Amino acid sequence: MKNENLVPKVRFKGFSDPWEQRKLGELFNERKEKSSQGELLSVTINSGIVKFDTLDRKNNSSADKSNYRVVRYGDIAYNSMRMWQGASGLSMYNGIVSPAYTVITPRTNTDAGFMAVNFKRKSMIQVFQRNSQGLTSDTWNLKFPVLKNIRISIPKITEQQIITELFTVINNLIAANEDKLEQLKTLKKLMMQKIFSQEWRFKGFTDPWEQRKFSELFFKSKLKNNSLFSSDKIISVATMTWKKPDASRSSDDYMKTYNIAKMGDIVFEGHTTKEFANGRFVENTLGDGIVSHIFDVYSPVMKLDLFYWKYFIHNERSIGPLLKRSTTNARMMSNLVERDVLKQFLPVPSSTEQSSIGHMLHLIDNLIAANEDKLNQLKKLKKYLMQNMFV
């Protein structure tokens, strides 16, 4: 009779045999070879084994590396004092690692890639934690003499290899999407710097931008809610999302104290102090709704491009002149002060150029959001498979 506890929930077609339980000492040998020669490697929790010189980290390794451990391509190395946190990885390099690491090499019929993924599973990390020795988490360690007695469930080598191939593809897709996402964010930052400084212009636009006072572009709105909007239309200014009301303050009378913020309005924080922390000076691109009475709302005097002004006021360089260094805050945070903001001159391109700029930056944001969504889906897929393709 098949032992259901030794059969994964998700499996490739053609495999039906129960997995076997084996001690890790039957699957790995410890590599005890030492050398002071070779490329210095490091074991990270998130990225596994990487070349040390790719890390933004100071090299604190000792000059005498005679006790450093040799790592060969295909070995698994782990931080003996951080195995319970998932600090392990499959090496794609030949090199050396600190004596604080343990290096293990697979025996016949053991696929190191399969085992490397298995070692990153939450349930396996919990097993490593239970077997780590030491009085406190600062001193916990898991050396090979203890590790080798841990029992683990594995399939035959062919199934191990297919699972390794699957996770290799997923990991490569995740890495590629992370790189693409970083490139898109860098592109957006560069575009905002160059466009709002007017170093870069769209073809056909040559007229200088007008200089207009903030108070000429926006006026202070005095629209109170007066029950026009219900509690499901409260805007979270910090995240520009709809938020649930405070249950203790959701009465009709209390809701009347809220200010109306229409699409395209700019919202300030600081109804009493008139000082506004950087990051709480935002344009409402969510839709018509209401904000707490602690926020002041400014509406555009004329029709302005929604997306252009969204990116303009969130661009560090363009909004820089509006910032005032607080002398009263011990942490010296940059604050926006209302009376100063109203007097500031802002560069204003033509409505057509505003539209072109806003549309382009909005398109980049959509690409960033799509890649973030794809990346999250890949990570969810990986997590699901790690939970269900192993025993």
Mean pLDDT of 224-253: 74
Domain 156-204+349-391 class in CATH = mainly alpha
Q: pLDDT exceeding 70 applies to what percent of the chain?
A: 86
Task: Report yes or no: 269 and 237 within 8 Å, Cβ to Cβ.
Answer: yes
Instruction: Count Cα neighbours of 10 within 13 Å in the Cβ-side half-sphere.
Output: 12
Task: Report yes or no: 282 and 314 within 8 Å, Cβ to Cβ.
Answer: yes
User: Cα–chain-centroid distance for residue 243?
Assistant: 22
Instruction: Count Cα neighbours of 201 within 13 Å in the Cβ-side half-sphere.
Output: 12
Task: Give the CATH fold of the 20-154 domain.
Answer: Adenine-n6-DNA-methyltransferase TaqI; Chain A, domain 2 (3.90.220)
Same fold across 156-204+349-391 and 210-347: no
Residue 271 confidence (pLDDT): 42
Each residue of 111-155: pLDDT tens digit? 999 999 999 999 999 999 999 999 888 899 999 999 999 999 999
Q: What is the 3-state secondary structure (H, E, C) of the chain?
A: CCCHHHCCCCCCCCCCCCCEEEEHHHHEEECCCECCCCCEEEEECCCEEEEHHHCCCCCCCCCCCCCCEEECCCCEEEECCCHHHCCEEECCCCEEECCCEEEEEECCCCCHHHHHHHHCCHHHHHHHHHHCECCCCCCCECCHHHHCCCEEEECCHHHHHHHHHHHHHHHHHHHHHHHHHHHHHHHHHHHHHHHHCCCCCCCCCCCCCEEEEHHHHEEECCCECCCCCCHHHEEECCCCEECCCCHHHCCHHHHCCCEEECCCCEEEECCCCCEEECCCEEECCCCCEEECCCEEEEEECCCCCHHHHHHHHCCHHHHHHHEEECCCCCCCCEEEEHHHHHHCEEEECCHHHHHHHHHHHHHHHHHHHHHHHHHHHHHHHHHHHHHHCCC
The full set of domain ranges for the chain reads: 20-154, 156-204+349-391, 210-347
Strand partners, 90: 76
Residue 5 confidence (pLDDT): 82
Which of 125, 133, 99 shows the shortest CA–CA distance to 116? Answer: 125
- pTM for this one? 0.80
- How far apart, in whole angstroms, are the C-alpha atoms of residue 94 and residue 225? 67
Binned at pLDDT 50, 70 and 90, residue 241 comes out as confident
Each residue of 341-372: pLDDT tens digit? 777 888 899 999 999 999 999 999 999 999 99
Query: Using N-to-C axis directions, what is the helix angle for 351-388 and 157-196, rounded to 10°?
Result: 160
| CATH code matching the domain that covers 210-347, chosen among 2.60.40, 2.40.50, 3.90.220, 3.30.980 | 3.90.220
Binned at pLDDT 50, 70 and 90, residue 280 comes out as low
Q: pLDDT exceeding 90 applies to what percent of the chain?
A: 60
Mean pLDDT of 293-313: 88
Structure tokens at 387: 């939970």
Distance set, CA 368 to CA 192, 314, 316, 373 (Å) = 15, 16, 19, 9
Higher pLDDT, 250 or 244: 244
Give Dmax (Cα) for the chain.
82
Binned at pLDDT 50, 70 and 90, residue 330 comes out as very low
Strands (DSSP E) along 88-127, which ranges? 88-90, 95-97, 101-106
Residue 246 confidence (pLDDT): 66
CB contact set of 309 (below 8 Å; sequence gap of 6+):
264, 266, 283, 300, 354, 358
Residue 289 main-chain phi, psi, to 5 deg = -165, -155
Query: Using N-to-C axis directions, what is the helix angle for 122-131 and 112-119, rounded to 10°?
Result: 80
Task: Report yes or no: 164 and 347 within 8 Å, Cβ to Cβ.
Answer: no
